[in-house]
Chains A and B, each alone.
Chain A
């Protein structure tokens, strides 16, 4: 198995100078506090021994300490936690989104979209609070601990020894209990994913939900999910509170030991009463820092569970992409598939030994029943998936050697699910070629027979399409997708079900648009209307993941096989 990489750590290391700077400042702050305490305890000792206190002697120092406190606390917080976190999270977010852009396609199909969004939204917030809260707090507490301990040591070294022995035991017990909670936080996240999933599902399917009156049904599912959440919380809290109860009581143990020991020291005269007071104050701070550590640790563990979920995305393989950006053609075969087999999951063959060759300028059609593997073949051609076995050469080069982006540059895909981004019509079309001028876009739209329609829109090319292209019909969206393809000007055109989602009038428009886009290009078409592909150079008939027949329309009719039957029934 491939070793997991820790991307988050990488970014944490990149900006560690901020963290270290922040830590140094916080360390100085602790020193200032210690110094202040010792000034006070010295003053009390002086008073006890009946000396006159001269305020002027330590006042300037104390004022300086106070001012330093304001400045240091600001700087420590600003650099140690906040700036550090902002920078790391910014880079991490960039990395995650870029990763999504090149992650293997199968992952996107497998994972629920709500889960991905939730991962990036709320888990990222957790990562942020890890960097802003629990992580620097952990470091600061450790630093403070060291400084306070040093001070106690300077009061009386054997007192420090007693502290040093009794506290780690407590720490050890706490850490065992902390582990248990980490596991439960995981289930909390899972339940919260379920809840978000329900909300997302209700939103995406609102039309069906509403027309079937499923409001109560969804509400019931939500009630169940929130009930699970409450039940889980009850379980979690009862465990975590036992942890707290035990921990608090155990924590007293070293306090008691130290206190008794300190009393013994005072009665023996090894520690002054002022020293005892200082010790009491310091002990509180020291214990505070010490107790804080497991607490913050629990929080950090919770944060890390979430960061791990993001790391999971980052550790998913990228789609296969080589470095080559050019083919090595010695003949005119552009696409060559040899004995290709493929399945989305193991033991599930969707394509079974496909052989296919496409020459420059050819017009190829794929026909056959749904589930025969036509769309899957397109997925492979676009390099969304790689074949399990066999060879796919594009311009004479194995597809895995190709840079995926470069390979796709050669293809334009007009698919059946056209997604329009919620931006202007113009920008949606310019998607085909970001460098295109407005004139080129208009030209492409005219060829795609969509220009006239766009001009009827309230703001013409500047009209904003809805999230799912709500204001456009299927046929209009399809023509926009054709305009994109024309603008892209790629040598290979992949057409998926181009004449299916439209009315008769629109069909003529689309037919015209298609003729325009097909002109001068090598075409592979998934067809359902056998009438539209009779001029194809070669028709491949697919069934059960195999190519069962191929040839021209006339040849296939003569053969009187599957195609002839399809033709007769259509």
Chain B
């Protein structure tokens, strides 16, 4: 059975994520189960002593027995608590570890991935699938292992009392387990498709929220709502499918319970009448079997759920196998001129290798300390040049060098350290202004931050804000105006102290006054570093020492 092996492998993989902590976690589960079973045994003993002592009417003996049992039960609970804390903490810890891995990948995918995939799709993996995977560690696994261990614990005395009867009962229970196993695969498939639909719904929702202004201005906005509702309907249909299977599970659990009682009665009565077993043993088995059955039903219920949840883990593992952006660029043509700040030679590039080349033998040299403006009609590849300079896409041919070092000589992160980038959309992270500027260089002091803000002509407006540098910028910086965001983005880039500053249409979305402030800031920086501006506003282009027309 190939499928079982893969499920098992998936399970092993899920556990191995925990690394060295796996034994502690697994021991905690076993100990929790054992101690809990022990508590159950004490409970059963309590009842057994009641039944045993009842005909004698010896209350004194009864009370002593009860006291002993109570102390035993309390002790097992105290130990249980210790392992329960270990278990829960480890479960959350591994959840954190996986979250970190997913985040790590989320940040390091090849850039093209972000442009191809909807962020809602990625976020759904992160918040939905990962949450379910976390549930495996947090509850699902224990819910399966605990009844399994307890079933074993109960089986031993039952066999000792009457192996024939126990065997028959176990057979009925096995049939039930097989029925449940049959439901595992359809449940798993149903869950997978539910998670897909959930991801679609997240995308539609995120579209609606991001495009709310448009959605409200146009009557067609209702369409966005409709497309969410359509996914919702699909979700309902798939839910119904899954529900049918879970109802089957429930039915087999309850039905088999009664069936077992029937089998017990039939066999028990005939065994006693034929003298195979005593009535006392029958009573004891009956009590034990009650507890056994409860646990067995739990197992029948939670085992398929665990398998279903493993499919969420599968989604996460699949995601984690996505290719990362390679650390280094592969070697192409030989290096450029070492006394140039930037040297781009014979670059061929297109976003899709099947497409026509967007850049064909593109060459550009920039001197140290020069301020160059790159301009040209839209779609001619200006922004592409900046993306290539940042090493976001692999070039098909040619070479890019900064200060004589080609891209393949250093890691991408070292490469990017030399470029301070100001994007067209000045994205700010959720947090304070200070935090956002500090992202330019994490070890910068507050004074350096203010210095950078002054250079970027941002200091003054920051001080007029209610909390100054500690003002929260809101999601994507939406509490600030475009010009304010842009100047903070420039301050962030200045703070980086990179030899090259790259501005991608940094002033294009600004009003005159903000553009003026930004241009003033750029003037202050000229000669201190190499500046590459992708621009088309005449006032911005006027700043440049040289204009490259594309």
- Chief secondary structure at chain B's binding surface: helix
Q: Which of B137-157 contact A (CB under 8 A)?
A: none
Q: A14: CB under 8 A from chain B? A: no
How many A residues face the partner with a CB closer than 8 A?
A: 163
Q: Does B424 lie within 8 Å of A122, measured CB to CB?
A: no
Nearest neighbor of B50 in chain A, beta-carbon distance: A259
Q: Does A73 lie within 8 Å of B251, measured CB to CB?
A: yes
Q: B528: CB under 8 A from chain A? A: no
Q: Does A73 lie within 8 Å of B214, measured CB to CB?
A: no
A12 to B168, CA, bound (A): 44
**Which residue of A43, A97, A205 contacts B269 across the interface (Cβ within 8 Å)?**
A43
Q: A555: CB under 8 A from chain B? A: no
Q: Does B225 lie within 8 Å of A98, measured CB to CB?
A: yes
Q: Which of B193-224 contact A (CB under 8 A)?
A: 198, 201-203, 205-224
Q: Does B219 lie within 8 Å of A97, measured CB to CB?
A: no
Q: A559: CB under 8 A from chain B? A: no
Q: B326: CB under 8 A from chain A? A: no
Q: How far is the CB of B386 from chain A (nearest CB, A)?
A: 10
A430 to B224, CA, bound (A): 13
Please, which residues of chain B bring their CB within 8 A of the CB of A421?
207, 211, 224
Q: Does B511 lie within 8 Å of A484, measured CB to CB?
A: no
Given A36-B258, A117-B123, A434-B223, output 4 extra A-B contacts at Cβ < 8 Å: A83-B240, A202-B106, A382-B217, A474-B378
Q: B447: CB under 8 A from chain A? A: no
Q: Does B209 lie within 8 Å of A116, measured CB to CB?
A: yes
Q: Does A43 lie within 8 Å of B217, measured CB to CB?
A: no
Q: Does A97 lie within 8 Å of B416, measured CB to CB?
A: no
Knowing A212-B496, A500-B510, the reply to whether A77 touches B247 (Cβ < 8 A) is yes
Please, which residues of chain A bring their CB within 8 A of the CB of B50?
259-260, 262-263, 276, 280
Q: How far is the CB of A210 from chain B (nearest CB, A)?
A: 7
In the complex, the number of residue pairs spanning A and B with C-beta atoms less than 8 Å apart equals 437
Interface core residue of A36, A97, A214 (most chain B CB under 10 Å):
A97
Please, which residues of chain A bring their CB within 8 A of the CB of B205?
97, 100, 117, 120-121
Q: Does B254 lie within 8 Å of A212, measured CB to CB?
A: no
Q: Does A86 lie within 8 Å of B243, measured CB to CB?
A: yes
Q: A281: CB under 8 A from chain B? A: yes
Please, which residues of chain A bring their CB within 8 A of the CB of B481?
370-371, 375
Q: A9: CB under 8 A from chain B? A: no
Nearest neighbor of B126 in chain A, beta-carbon distance: A199
Q: How far is the CB of A109 from chain B (nearest CB, A)?
A: 7
Q: Which of A49-94 contact B (CB under 8 A)?
A: 52-53, 55, 59, 62-63, 65-67, 69-78, 82-83, 86, 90, 93-94
- Encode A485-498 as 1/0 by CB contact (under 8 A) with B: 00010000000010
Q: B468: CB under 8 A from chain A? A: no
Q: How far is the CB of B484 from chain A (nearest CB, A)?
A: 8
Q: Does A71 lie within 8 Å of B251, measured CB to CB?
A: yes
How big is the B interface, by class? 35 or more
Q: Does B209 lie within 8 Å of A196, measured CB to CB?
A: no
Q: B440: CB under 8 A from chain A? A: yes
**Which residue of A73, A125, A212, A249 contacts B250 across the interface (Cβ within 8 Å)?**
A73
Q: B478: CB under 8 A from chain A? A: yes
Please, which residues of chain B bring their CB within 8 A of the CB of A506?
377-378, 536
Please, which residues of chain B bring their CB within 8 A of the CB of A43?
265, 269
A237 to B90, CA, bound (A): 12
Q: Does B286 lie within 8 Å of A277, measured CB to CB?
A: yes
Nearest neighbor of B66 in chain A, beta-carbon distance: A256
**Which residue of B39, B122, B429 contacts A201 across the interface (Cβ within 8 Å)?**
B429
Q: Does A280 lie within 8 Å of B51, measured CB to CB?
A: yes
Please, which residues of chain B bring their CB within 8 A of the CB of A77?
246-247, 250-251
Which of A157-165, A304-312, A333-341, A411-419 lies at the binding interface?
A411-419
Q: Which of B264-294 contact A (CB under 8 A)?
A: 264-266, 269-270, 272-273, 279, 282-283, 286-287, 290-291, 294
Please, which residues of chain B bring their CB within 8 A of the CB of A434?
219-220, 223
A267 to B51, CA, bound (A): 11
Q: A112: CB under 8 A from chain B? A: yes
Q: Which of A180-239 contact B (CB under 8 A)?
A: 195-215, 217-219, 222-223, 226-227, 229-230, 233-234, 236-238
